[in-house]
Structure 1
Amino acid sequence: MGILSKVGGGLVDLSVIAWDTVIALMNLFTPKLKESEVVPRGAPGHRGSWPEYVPPTDGDSRSACAMLNAMANHGILPHDGKNITFTQLNRTVRQTFNFAASFCFFVPNFSARFLNKSYSKDRFDLADLSMHADNAIEHDASLTRQDAALVPDQGKPDLGLVHDLLEEATGKLSNGTPLLTKSDLSRALSKRRVDARKTNPRYTESFFHNMFGSANSSTMLSIFGGRVEDLRPMLVEERFADHWEPRILDRYGLTMAKFNGTVLPVERGVDVKKYQ
Protein backbone atom coordinates (compact mmCIF):
# COMPACT_ATOMS: atom_id res chain seq x y z
CA MET A 1 0.00 0.00 0.00
CA GLY A 2 1.40 3.39 -1.00
CA ILE A 3 2.08 6.23 1.41
CA LEU A 4 -0.85 8.27 0.05
CA SER A 5 -3.20 5.35 0.55
CA LYS A 6 -1.97 4.92 4.12
CA VAL A 7 -2.48 8.60 4.87
CA GLY A 8 -5.93 8.51 3.29
CA GLY A 9 -6.83 5.45 5.30
CA GLY A 10 -5.64 7.12 8.49
CA LEU A 11 -7.78 10.19 7.84
CA VAL A 12 -10.81 7.98 7.22
CA ASP A 13 -10.17 6.15 10.50
CA LEU A 14 -9.95 9.42 12.42
CA SER A 15 -13.21 10.58 10.87
CA VAL A 16 -14.90 7.31 11.84
CA ILE A 17 -13.67 7.65 15.43
CA ALA A 18 -15.14 11.17 15.61
CA TRP A 19 -18.40 9.90 14.10
CA ASP A 20 -18.46 7.03 16.58
CA THR A 21 -18.00 9.42 19.51
CA VAL A 22 -20.99 11.46 18.39
CA ILE A 23 -23.13 8.31 18.16
CA ALA A 24 -21.99 7.21 21.63
CA LEU A 25 -23.12 10.58 23.02
CA MET A 26 -26.45 10.33 21.21
CA ASN A 27 -27.02 6.93 22.81
CA LEU A 28 -26.57 8.47 26.24
CA PHE A 29 -29.41 10.94 25.71
CA THR A 30 -31.97 8.89 23.79
CA PRO A 31 -34.37 6.19 25.03
CA LYS A 32 -33.32 2.55 24.74
CA LEU A 33 -34.94 0.28 22.20
CA LYS A 34 -37.65 -2.04 23.45
CA GLU A 35 -36.83 -5.73 23.65
CA SER A 36 -38.19 -7.56 20.56
CA GLU A 37 -37.75 -4.31 18.59
CA VAL A 38 -33.95 -4.33 18.31
CA VAL A 39 -33.86 -5.80 14.80
CA PRO A 40 -35.76 -3.25 12.68
CA ARG A 41 -39.18 -3.99 11.26
CA GLY A 42 -38.92 -5.61 7.83
CA ALA A 43 -35.40 -6.95 8.45
CA PRO A 44 -34.67 -10.67 8.90
CA GLY A 45 -34.85 -11.50 12.60
CA HIS A 46 -37.40 -8.85 13.58
CA ARG A 47 -39.07 -9.98 16.82
CA GLY A 48 -36.78 -13.02 16.84
CA SER A 49 -38.20 -14.47 13.62
CA TRP A 50 -35.12 -15.66 11.75
CA PRO A 51 -35.11 -17.11 8.22
CA GLU A 52 -34.72 -20.86 7.91
CA TYR A 53 -31.33 -22.25 8.88
CA VAL A 54 -29.64 -24.22 6.08
CA PRO A 55 -26.17 -25.63 6.86
CA PRO A 56 -23.39 -24.90 4.34
CA THR A 57 -22.70 -27.43 1.61
CA ASP A 58 -19.55 -28.27 -0.32
CA GLY A 59 -18.42 -25.27 -2.30
CA ASP A 60 -19.99 -22.68 0.00
CA SER A 61 -17.61 -20.03 1.31
CA ARG A 62 -17.35 -19.45 5.04
CA SER A 63 -15.12 -17.30 7.26
CA ALA A 64 -13.50 -17.62 10.67
CA CYS A 65 -16.37 -15.52 12.11
CA ALA A 66 -19.34 -17.51 13.40
CA MET A 67 -21.64 -14.49 13.26
CA LEU A 68 -21.05 -13.84 9.56
CA ASN A 69 -21.35 -17.54 8.80
CA ALA A 70 -24.68 -17.66 10.64
CA MET A 71 -25.94 -14.80 8.49
CA ALA A 72 -25.11 -16.84 5.39
CA ASN A 73 -26.60 -20.02 6.86
CA HIS A 74 -29.88 -18.15 7.42
CA GLY A 75 -29.79 -16.48 4.00
CA ILE A 76 -29.30 -12.95 5.34
CA LEU A 77 -26.08 -12.90 3.33
CA PRO A 78 -25.91 -15.06 0.19
CA HIS A 79 -26.03 -18.68 1.32
CA ASP A 80 -23.00 -19.60 -0.76
CA GLY A 81 -21.07 -16.83 1.00
CA LYS A 82 -19.81 -15.42 -2.28
CA ASN A 83 -19.89 -12.21 -4.31
CA ILE A 84 -20.80 -10.00 -1.34
CA THR A 85 -20.39 -6.23 -1.46
CA PHE A 86 -18.81 -4.42 1.47
CA THR A 87 -21.77 -2.04 1.59
CA GLN A 88 -24.12 -5.05 1.80
CA LEU A 89 -22.10 -6.37 4.72
CA ASN A 90 -22.32 -2.96 6.40
CA ARG A 91 -26.11 -2.82 6.12
CA THR A 92 -26.93 -6.40 7.07
CA VAL A 93 -24.57 -6.59 10.05
CA ARG A 94 -26.04 -3.35 11.41
CA GLN A 95 -29.60 -4.66 11.11
CA THR A 96 -28.81 -8.13 12.43
CA PHE A 97 -26.66 -7.32 15.47
CA ASN A 98 -27.36 -3.62 16.21
CA PHE A 99 -23.81 -2.42 15.79
CA ALA A 100 -23.55 1.35 15.31
CA ALA A 101 -23.28 2.76 11.79
CA SER A 102 -19.69 3.86 12.50
CA PHE A 103 -18.72 0.33 13.58
CA CYS A 104 -20.43 -1.20 10.55
CA PHE A 105 -18.49 1.05 8.20
CA PHE A 106 -15.14 0.72 9.94
CA VAL A 107 -14.79 -3.07 9.88
CA PRO A 108 -15.87 -3.69 6.24
CA ASN A 109 -13.77 -0.71 5.12
CA PHE A 110 -10.77 -2.06 7.02
CA SER A 111 -11.40 -5.48 5.44
CA ALA A 112 -11.50 -3.95 1.97
CA ARG A 113 -8.16 -2.30 2.63
CA PHE A 114 -6.32 -5.44 3.73
CA LEU A 115 -7.83 -7.31 0.77
CA ASN A 116 -6.65 -4.51 -1.55
CA LYS A 117 -10.21 -3.97 -2.75
CA SER A 118 -12.48 -0.97 -3.16
CA TYR A 119 -15.04 -0.63 -0.38
CA SER A 120 -17.59 0.96 -2.71
CA LYS A 121 -17.02 -1.07 -5.90
CA ASP A 122 -15.61 -4.53 -5.19
CA ARG A 123 -16.99 -7.81 -3.90
CA PHE A 124 -15.56 -10.60 -1.74
CA ASP A 125 -16.23 -14.14 -0.54
CA LEU A 126 -16.51 -14.88 3.18
CA ALA A 127 -13.40 -17.09 3.06
CA ASP A 128 -11.39 -14.06 1.89
CA LEU A 129 -11.76 -12.55 5.37
CA SER A 130 -9.75 -15.46 6.81
CA MET A 131 -6.57 -14.31 5.09
CA HIS A 132 -3.74 -14.87 7.56
CA ALA A 133 -1.48 -11.81 7.43
CA ASP A 134 0.04 -9.22 9.77
CA ASN A 135 -2.39 -6.53 8.63
CA ALA A 136 -5.51 -8.74 8.46
CA ILE A 137 -8.05 -9.62 11.15
CA GLU A 138 -7.65 -13.42 11.22
CA HIS A 139 -5.30 -14.37 14.05
CA ASP A 140 -3.74 -17.32 15.86
CA ALA A 141 -5.12 -18.55 19.21
CA SER A 142 -8.77 -18.18 18.27
CA LEU A 143 -11.19 -19.50 20.88
CA THR A 144 -13.20 -21.40 18.25
CA ARG A 145 -10.71 -22.29 15.48
CA GLN A 146 -7.40 -24.10 15.33
CA ASP A 147 -4.62 -21.92 13.91
CA ALA A 148 -4.55 -21.49 10.14
CA ALA A 149 -1.09 -23.09 9.96
CA LEU A 150 -2.63 -26.29 11.34
CA VAL A 151 -6.09 -26.12 9.73
CA PRO A 152 -6.04 -23.92 6.60
CA ASP A 153 -9.84 -24.02 6.20
CA GLN A 154 -11.05 -21.56 8.83
CA GLY A 155 -14.69 -21.89 7.78
CA LYS A 156 -15.64 -24.50 10.38
CA PRO A 157 -15.48 -24.32 14.19
CA ASP A 158 -13.37 -26.71 16.23
CA LEU A 159 -16.00 -28.27 18.49
CA GLY A 160 -13.43 -29.21 21.13
CA LEU A 161 -12.34 -25.59 21.47
CA VAL A 162 -15.95 -24.42 21.59
CA HIS A 163 -16.74 -26.93 24.33
CA ASP A 164 -13.71 -25.82 26.35
CA LEU A 165 -14.74 -22.17 25.98
CA LEU A 166 -18.33 -22.66 27.12
CA GLU A 167 -17.15 -24.77 30.05
CA GLU A 168 -15.29 -21.70 31.34
CA ALA A 169 -18.60 -19.98 32.18
CA THR A 170 -18.83 -19.12 35.88
CA GLY A 171 -21.58 -16.50 35.83
CA LYS A 172 -25.28 -17.20 36.28
CA LEU A 173 -28.56 -15.38 35.75
CA SER A 174 -31.10 -15.39 38.56
CA ASN A 175 -32.74 -18.45 36.99
CA GLY A 176 -29.44 -20.35 36.93
CA THR A 177 -28.69 -19.82 33.23
CA PRO A 178 -24.88 -19.96 32.82
CA LEU A 179 -23.06 -16.85 31.64
CA LEU A 180 -19.59 -16.16 30.34
CA THR A 181 -17.99 -13.21 32.12
CA LYS A 182 -15.07 -10.92 31.31
CA SER A 183 -12.88 -12.94 33.67
CA ASP A 184 -13.96 -16.17 31.96
CA LEU A 185 -12.93 -14.83 28.56
CA SER A 186 -9.60 -13.54 29.87
CA ARG A 187 -8.90 -16.96 31.35
CA ALA A 188 -9.93 -18.77 28.16
CA LEU A 189 -7.73 -16.49 26.04
CA SER A 190 -4.78 -17.03 28.39
CA LYS A 191 -5.04 -20.80 28.13
CA ARG A 192 -5.59 -20.71 24.38
CA ARG A 193 -2.57 -18.51 23.69
CA VAL A 194 -0.34 -20.78 25.74
CA ASP A 195 -1.68 -23.90 23.98
CA ALA A 196 -1.42 -22.34 20.51
CA ARG A 197 2.18 -21.34 21.13
CA LYS A 198 3.00 -24.94 22.08
CA THR A 199 1.17 -26.67 19.21
CA ASN A 200 1.75 -24.31 16.29
CA PRO A 201 5.40 -24.03 15.20
CA ARG A 202 4.46 -20.99 13.09
CA TYR A 203 2.53 -19.25 15.86
CA THR A 204 2.54 -15.47 15.68
CA GLU A 205 1.27 -12.91 18.13
CA SER A 206 1.13 -9.12 18.14
CA PHE A 207 -0.64 -6.43 20.14
CA PHE A 208 -2.82 -5.77 17.08
CA HIS A 209 -3.94 -9.40 16.76
CA ASN A 210 -4.31 -9.85 20.52
CA MET A 211 -6.71 -6.90 20.57
CA PHE A 212 -8.66 -8.38 17.67
CA GLY A 213 -8.81 -11.69 19.54
CA SER A 214 -10.20 -9.96 22.62
CA ALA A 215 -12.60 -7.96 20.45
CA ASN A 216 -13.92 -11.05 18.70
CA SER A 217 -14.39 -12.73 22.07
CA SER A 218 -16.07 -9.69 23.58
CA THR A 219 -18.97 -9.84 21.12
CA MET A 220 -20.07 -12.87 23.15
CA LEU A 221 -20.57 -10.53 26.11
CA SER A 222 -21.92 -7.45 24.34
CA ILE A 223 -24.13 -8.84 21.58
CA PHE A 224 -25.04 -12.15 23.28
CA GLY A 225 -24.92 -11.03 26.90
CA GLY A 226 -22.61 -13.96 27.64
CA ARG A 227 -25.57 -16.35 27.66
CA VAL A 228 -24.32 -19.87 27.00
CA GLU A 229 -27.74 -21.08 25.80
CA ASP A 230 -27.58 -18.54 22.95
CA LEU A 231 -23.87 -18.93 22.26
CA ARG A 232 -23.94 -22.72 21.95
CA PRO A 233 -25.99 -22.86 18.68
CA MET A 234 -24.07 -19.85 17.33
CA LEU A 235 -20.63 -21.33 17.98
CA VAL A 236 -21.42 -25.01 17.29
CA GLU A 237 -23.85 -24.82 14.34
CA GLU A 238 -23.39 -21.14 13.43
CA ARG A 239 -27.13 -20.71 13.83
CA PHE A 240 -29.32 -18.14 15.58
CA ALA A 241 -31.12 -19.55 18.61
CA ASP A 242 -34.91 -19.56 18.30
CA HIS A 243 -36.38 -16.15 19.16
CA TRP A 244 -32.92 -14.70 19.78
CA GLU A 245 -32.28 -10.98 19.43
CA PRO A 246 -29.22 -8.80 20.12
CA ARG A 247 -28.74 -7.80 23.75
CA ILE A 248 -27.64 -4.28 22.78
CA LEU A 249 -30.58 -1.92 23.31
CA ASP A 250 -28.80 1.36 22.50
CA ARG A 251 -30.97 3.21 20.02
CA TYR A 252 -28.13 3.94 17.60
CA GLY A 253 -26.31 0.65 18.12
CA LEU A 254 -23.14 -0.56 19.77
CA THR A 255 -20.34 1.95 19.23
CA MET A 256 -16.65 1.20 19.18
CA ALA A 257 -16.27 3.53 22.17
CA LYS A 258 -18.68 1.50 24.29
CA PHE A 259 -17.37 -1.82 22.97
CA ASN A 260 -13.87 -0.93 24.10
CA GLY A 261 -15.24 -0.83 27.63
CA THR A 262 -15.53 -4.61 27.34
CA VAL A 263 -12.54 -5.35 25.09
CA LEU A 264 -9.89 -3.57 27.15
CA PRO A 265 -10.71 -5.27 30.49
CA VAL A 266 -10.80 -8.66 28.76
CA GLU A 267 -7.36 -8.13 27.23
CA ARG A 268 -5.93 -6.66 30.43
CA GLY A 269 -7.10 -9.75 32.29
CA VAL A 270 -5.12 -12.13 30.05
CA ASP A 271 -2.28 -13.74 32.04
CA VAL A 272 -0.42 -16.34 29.99
CA LYS A 273 2.27 -16.81 32.66
CA LYS A 274 -0.31 -18.37 34.93
CA TYR A 275 -0.84 -21.25 32.49
CA GLN A 276 2.66 -21.84 31.13
Structure 2
Amino acid sequence: MAILSKISSAFINVFVLTWDFGLFILNLLTFSHKPGHVVPPHAAGHGLTWPEYVPPKEGDSRSACPMLNAMANHGILPHDGKNITFKELNTKVRQTFNFAPSFCFFVPKFSADFLNRSYWSGHFDLAELSLHNAIEHDASLTRHDAALVPDQGKPDSQLVDDLLKEATGKMPDGSPLLTIPDLSRALSKRRIDARKTNAAYSENLFHNMFGSANSSTMLTIFGGRINDLKPMLAEERFPEDWEPRILARYGLTMAKFNGTVLPVEFGVKTKVAKQ
Protein backbone atom coordinates (compact mmCIF):
# COMPACT_ATOMS: atom_id res chain seq x y z
CA MET A 1 0.00 0.00 0.00
CA ALA A 2 2.85 2.39 0.81
CA ILE A 3 4.36 1.84 -2.64
CA LEU A 4 1.01 2.42 -4.34
CA SER A 5 0.54 5.60 -2.33
CA LYS A 6 3.94 6.92 -3.43
CA ILE A 7 3.21 6.08 -7.07
CA SER A 8 -0.16 7.82 -6.83
CA SER A 9 1.41 10.92 -5.24
CA ALA A 10 4.11 11.06 -7.91
CA PHE A 11 1.50 10.79 -10.67
CA ILE A 12 -0.59 13.56 -9.11
CA ASN A 13 2.45 15.83 -8.76
CA VAL A 14 3.45 15.33 -12.39
CA PHE A 15 -0.12 15.98 -13.49
CA VAL A 16 -0.39 19.18 -11.41
CA LEU A 17 2.93 20.55 -12.66
CA THR A 18 1.95 19.83 -16.27
CA TRP A 19 -1.45 21.41 -15.72
CA ASP A 20 0.19 24.42 -14.07
CA PHE A 21 2.60 24.96 -16.95
CA GLY A 22 -0.29 24.76 -19.40
CA LEU A 23 -2.10 27.50 -17.47
CA PHE A 24 1.11 29.54 -17.44
CA ILE A 25 1.18 29.38 -21.26
CA LEU A 26 -2.53 30.19 -21.51
CA ASN A 27 -1.97 33.30 -19.40
CA LEU A 28 0.57 34.46 -21.97
CA LEU A 29 -1.89 33.94 -24.81
CA THR A 30 -5.09 35.37 -23.32
CA PHE A 31 -6.25 38.79 -22.20
CA SER A 32 -5.91 39.58 -18.51
CA HIS A 33 -8.79 40.64 -16.29
CA LYS A 34 -9.50 44.34 -16.20
CA PRO A 35 -8.76 46.04 -12.87
CA GLY A 36 -11.88 45.92 -10.74
CA HIS A 37 -13.04 42.63 -12.27
CA VAL A 38 -10.61 40.04 -10.88
CA VAL A 39 -12.90 38.40 -8.32
CA PRO A 40 -15.55 36.42 -10.24
CA PRO A 41 -19.27 37.28 -10.13
CA HIS A 42 -21.22 35.79 -7.22
CA ALA A 43 -17.99 35.36 -5.19
CA ALA A 44 -17.30 37.31 -2.02
CA GLY A 45 -15.32 40.44 -2.91
CA HIS A 46 -16.74 40.85 -6.40
CA GLY A 47 -17.06 44.53 -7.28
CA LEU A 48 -14.43 45.40 -4.63
CA THR A 49 -16.98 44.83 -1.85
CA TRP A 50 -15.97 42.41 0.89
CA PRO A 51 -18.21 40.88 3.57
CA GLU A 52 -18.15 42.52 6.99
CA TYR A 53 -15.00 42.03 9.04
CA VAL A 54 -15.61 40.39 12.42
CA PRO A 55 -12.53 39.68 14.59
CA PRO A 56 -12.13 36.12 15.86
CA LYS A 57 -14.01 35.24 19.01
CA GLU A 58 -13.01 33.01 21.91
CA GLY A 59 -12.94 29.44 20.69
CA ASP A 60 -12.58 30.30 17.00
CA SER A 61 -9.87 28.42 15.13
CA ARG A 62 -7.16 30.35 13.31
CA SER A 63 -3.98 29.35 11.45
CA ALA A 64 -0.50 30.76 10.98
CA CYS A 65 -1.60 32.15 7.59
CA PRO A 66 -2.94 35.74 7.62
CA MET A 67 -4.76 35.28 4.31
CA LEU A 68 -6.75 32.25 5.45
CA ASN A 69 -7.53 33.94 8.75
CA ALA A 70 -8.77 37.03 6.92
CA MET A 71 -11.10 34.83 4.88
CA ALA A 72 -12.57 33.47 8.11
CA ASN A 73 -12.76 36.94 9.69
CA HIS A 74 -14.83 38.09 6.70
CA GLY A 75 -16.98 34.95 6.63
CA ILE A 76 -15.68 33.71 3.29
CA LEU A 77 -14.61 30.60 5.17
CA PRO A 78 -16.66 29.65 8.26
CA HIS A 79 -16.05 32.35 10.85
CA ASP A 80 -15.24 29.82 13.54
CA GLY A 81 -12.57 28.39 11.25
CA LYS A 82 -13.80 24.85 11.79
CA ASN A 83 -15.02 21.85 9.78
CA ILE A 84 -13.75 23.21 6.44
CA THR A 85 -13.39 20.84 3.50
CA PHE A 86 -10.20 20.83 1.47
CA LYS A 87 -12.25 21.19 -1.71
CA GLU A 88 -13.98 24.27 -0.24
CA LEU A 89 -10.57 25.74 0.58
CA ASN A 90 -9.51 25.18 -3.02
CA THR A 91 -12.51 27.03 -4.45
CA LYS A 92 -12.59 29.90 -1.97
CA VAL A 93 -8.88 30.68 -2.17
CA ARG A 94 -8.99 30.65 -5.97
CA GLN A 95 -11.95 33.03 -6.07
CA THR A 96 -10.58 35.34 -3.40
CA PHE A 97 -6.92 35.69 -4.38
CA ASN A 98 -6.80 34.61 -8.04
CA PHE A 99 -4.34 31.79 -7.56
CA ALA A 100 -4.35 29.37 -10.49
CA PRO A 101 -6.57 26.25 -10.18
CA SER A 102 -3.43 24.09 -10.19
CA PHE A 103 -2.00 26.05 -7.27
CA CYS A 104 -5.31 25.86 -5.39
CA PHE A 105 -5.42 22.09 -5.77
CA PHE A 106 -1.79 21.45 -4.89
CA VAL A 107 -1.65 23.26 -1.53
CA PRO A 108 -4.92 21.88 -0.05
CA LYS A 109 -3.93 18.41 -1.31
CA PHE A 110 -0.54 18.80 0.40
CA SER A 111 -2.35 19.91 3.56
CA ALA A 112 -4.70 16.93 3.46
CA ASP A 113 -1.71 14.63 3.06
CA PHE A 114 0.23 15.94 6.06
CA LEU A 115 -2.94 15.76 8.16
CA ASN A 116 -3.49 12.16 6.98
CA ARG A 117 -6.90 12.98 5.55
CA SER A 118 -8.62 12.64 2.23
CA TYR A 119 -8.56 15.71 0.02
CA TRP A 120 -11.83 14.55 -1.52
CA SER A 121 -13.87 14.01 1.65
CA GLY A 122 -11.84 15.31 4.59
CA HIS A 123 -12.45 18.26 6.90
CA PHE A 124 -10.10 20.36 9.03
CA ASP A 125 -9.94 23.31 11.41
CA LEU A 126 -7.68 26.24 10.53
CA ALA A 127 -5.48 25.71 13.61
CA GLU A 128 -4.60 22.24 12.37
CA LEU A 129 -2.76 23.77 9.42
CA SER A 130 -0.23 25.13 11.94
CA LEU A 131 1.25 21.67 12.44
CA HIS A 132 4.90 22.50 13.06
CA ASN A 133 7.26 22.04 10.12
CA ALA A 134 4.51 21.08 7.70
CA ILE A 135 3.38 24.41 6.24
CA GLU A 136 4.04 26.35 9.45
CA HIS A 137 7.78 26.90 10.00
CA ASP A 138 10.25 28.73 12.19
CA ALA A 139 11.37 32.29 11.38
CA SER A 140 7.96 33.45 10.14
CA LEU A 141 7.77 37.15 9.37
CA THR A 142 4.52 37.63 11.34
CA ARG A 143 4.73 35.02 14.14
CA HIS A 144 7.30 34.07 16.74
CA ASP A 145 8.34 30.42 16.55
CA ALA A 146 5.90 27.79 17.79
CA ALA A 147 8.36 26.67 20.47
CA LEU A 148 8.08 30.16 21.99
CA VAL A 149 4.44 30.96 21.18
CA PRO A 150 2.41 27.75 20.71
CA ASP A 151 -0.70 29.62 19.53
CA GLN A 152 0.15 30.49 15.94
CA GLY A 153 -3.30 31.92 15.23
CA LYS A 154 -2.45 35.53 16.07
CA PRO A 155 0.08 37.86 14.41
CA ASP A 156 2.80 39.53 16.48
CA SER A 157 2.38 43.28 16.12
CA GLN A 158 6.08 44.05 16.57
CA LEU A 159 7.16 41.54 13.92
CA VAL A 160 4.58 42.93 11.49
CA ASP A 161 5.75 46.47 12.18
CA ASP A 162 9.40 45.48 11.69
CA LEU A 163 8.54 43.87 8.37
CA LEU A 164 6.58 46.83 7.02
CA LYS A 165 9.40 49.20 7.96
CA GLU A 166 11.71 47.31 5.58
CA ALA A 167 9.90 48.75 2.55
CA THR A 168 12.19 50.94 0.44
CA GLY A 169 10.17 51.11 -2.78
CA LYS A 170 7.68 53.79 -3.71
CA MET A 171 4.39 53.73 -5.57
CA PRO A 172 3.75 56.51 -8.15
CA ASP A 173 1.77 58.36 -5.46
CA GLY A 174 4.68 58.11 -3.02
CA SER A 175 3.18 55.41 -0.80
CA PRO A 176 5.64 52.71 0.41
CA LEU A 177 6.25 49.54 -1.55
CA LEU A 178 7.88 46.28 -0.44
CA THR A 179 10.44 44.98 -2.95
CA ILE A 180 12.23 41.66 -3.48
CA PRO A 181 15.45 42.91 -1.77
CA ASP A 182 13.35 44.23 1.12
CA LEU A 183 11.73 40.84 1.63
CA SER A 184 15.06 39.00 1.39
CA ARG A 185 16.50 41.34 3.99
CA ALA A 186 13.53 40.84 6.33
CA LEU A 187 13.82 37.04 6.03
CA SER A 188 17.56 37.24 6.71
CA LYS A 189 17.00 39.15 9.93
CA ARG A 190 14.23 36.84 11.10
CA ARG A 191 16.25 33.68 10.52
CA ILE A 192 19.22 35.09 12.41
CA ASP A 193 17.04 36.25 15.29
CA ALA A 194 15.07 32.98 15.43
CA ARG A 195 18.30 30.98 15.67
CA LYS A 196 19.36 33.10 18.64
CA THR A 197 16.06 33.10 20.54
CA ASN A 198 14.69 29.60 19.87
CA ALA A 199 16.75 26.71 21.20
CA ALA A 200 14.54 24.32 19.22
CA TYR A 201 14.97 26.23 15.96
CA SER A 202 14.92 24.07 12.85
CA GLU A 203 15.67 24.95 9.25
CA ASN A 204 16.15 23.12 5.98
CA LEU A 205 15.91 23.92 2.28
CA PHE A 206 12.24 22.90 2.07
CA HIS A 207 11.20 25.13 4.97
CA ASN A 208 13.31 28.02 3.69
CA MET A 209 11.70 27.77 0.26
CA PHE A 210 8.26 27.50 1.81
CA GLY A 211 9.01 30.56 3.96
CA SER A 212 10.06 32.54 0.91
CA ALA A 213 6.98 31.30 -0.97
CA ASN A 214 4.60 32.28 1.83
CA SER A 215 6.25 35.68 2.05
CA SER A 216 6.28 36.23 -1.70
CA THR A 217 2.49 36.41 -1.79
CA MET A 218 3.01 39.89 -0.38
CA LEU A 219 4.81 40.85 -3.59
CA THR A 220 2.49 39.05 -6.01
CA ILE A 221 -1.08 38.93 -4.72
CA PHE A 222 -0.66 42.23 -2.85
CA GLY A 223 1.81 43.85 -5.23
CA GLY A 224 4.07 44.82 -2.32
CA ARG A 225 1.77 47.71 -1.39
CA ILE A 226 2.22 48.52 2.30
CA ASN A 227 -1.16 50.26 2.49
CA ASP A 228 -2.77 46.94 1.58
CA LEU A 229 -0.43 44.72 3.58
CA LYS A 230 -0.79 46.57 6.88
CA PRO A 231 -4.46 45.68 7.54
CA MET A 232 -3.96 42.17 6.16
CA LEU A 233 -0.95 41.36 8.33
CA ALA A 234 -1.80 43.33 11.48
CA GLU A 235 -5.58 42.75 11.65
CA GLU A 236 -6.01 39.94 9.11
CA ARG A 237 -8.57 42.08 7.34
CA PHE A 238 -9.16 42.91 3.67
CA PRO A 239 -8.52 46.57 2.84
CA GLU A 240 -11.47 48.51 1.49
CA ASP A 241 -11.86 48.39 -2.29
CA TRP A 242 -9.14 45.75 -2.53
CA GLU A 243 -8.69 43.04 -5.13
CA PRO A 244 -5.80 40.72 -6.05
CA ARG A 245 -3.03 42.45 -7.96
CA ILE A 246 -2.65 39.38 -10.17
CA LEU A 247 -4.76 40.09 -13.25
CA ALA A 248 -3.85 36.96 -15.25
CA ARG A 249 -6.91 35.22 -16.73
CA TYR A 250 -6.02 31.84 -15.19
CA GLY A 251 -4.54 33.22 -11.99
CA LEU A 252 -1.10 33.03 -10.42
CA THR A 253 0.54 29.79 -11.47
CA MET A 254 3.34 28.06 -9.59
CA ALA A 255 5.54 28.50 -12.66
CA LYS A 256 5.04 32.26 -12.58
CA PHE A 257 5.25 32.43 -8.79
CA ASN A 258 8.69 30.85 -8.78
CA GLY A 259 9.95 33.88 -10.68
CA THR A 260 9.46 35.81 -7.44
CA VAL A 261 10.14 33.10 -4.86
CA LEU A 262 13.59 32.12 -6.14
CA PRO A 263 15.05 35.66 -6.21
CA VAL A 264 13.66 36.26 -2.71
CA GLU A 265 15.28 33.10 -1.31
CA PHE A 266 18.54 33.57 -3.18
CA GLY A 267 18.75 37.07 -1.71
CA VAL A 268 18.65 35.84 1.89
CA LYS A 269 22.04 36.39 3.52
CA THR A 270 21.94 35.07 7.07
CA LYS A 271 25.66 35.48 7.63
CA VAL A 272 25.84 39.15 6.73
CA ALA A 273 22.39 40.49 7.61
CA LYS A 274 22.37 43.52 9.86
CA GLN A 275 21.44 42.87 13.47
TM-score range, shorter chain: over 0.9
Per-residue deviation, residues 152-184 of structure 1 (Å, max 9, x unmatched): 000000110000000000000111010000000
CA shift, 1:10, in A, is 1.7
Residue 92 of structure 1 aligns to which amino acid in structure 2?
Answer: K
* Secondary structure of residue in 1 paired with 2:202: coil
Q: 1:157 aligns to what?
A: 155
- 1:229 corresponds to: 227
- 1:61 aligned onto 2:61: yes
Q: Work out the CA distance in 1 between the residues paired with 2:249 and 2:270.
A: 38
**Matched AA of 2:171:** L
Q: What is the TM-score of this pair, normalised by structure 2?
A: 0.98
Tell me which residue corresponds to 1:217. Answer: 215
Deviations 1:113-158 (A, max 9, x none): 000000001100000000013xx11100000000000000000001
**1:273 is paired with a residue of what secondary structure?**
coil
Structure 1 runs not aligned, ≥5 long: none
C-alpha distance in 1 between matches for 2:6 and 2:156: 36
* Paired position in structure 2 for 1:22: 22
Cα RMSD (Å): 0.9
**Equivalent position of 1:204 in the other structure:** 202
**Other structure's SS at 2:167 match:** coil
CA distance in 1, matches of 2:8, 2:184: 35
Identity of aligned residues (%): 71
User: Normalized against structure 1, the TM-score is what?
Assistant: 0.98
Instruction: Give the equivalent residue in structure 1 for 2:177.
Output: 179
- The answer to whether 1:266 aligns with 2:239 is no
- Displacement, 1:73? 0.1
Distance 1:174 1:71 in 2: 29
After the TM superposition, which parts of structure 1 deviate over 4 Å for at least 4 consecutive aligned residues?
none
Deviations 1:199-249 (CA, angstroms, capped at 9, x unpaired): 000000010000000000000000000000000000000000000000000
2:5 alignment counterpart: 5
Aligned positions, number = 274
Q: Which runs of 5+ in 2 are unaligned?
A: none
Q: Paired residue for 2:103?
A: 103
Cα distance in 1 between the residues matched to 2:217 and 2:143: 16
Trace 1:35-46 onto structure 2 (pairs within 5 A).
Answer: 35-46=35-46
Q: Secondary structure at the match of 1:272?
A: coil
Shift of 1:6: 2.2
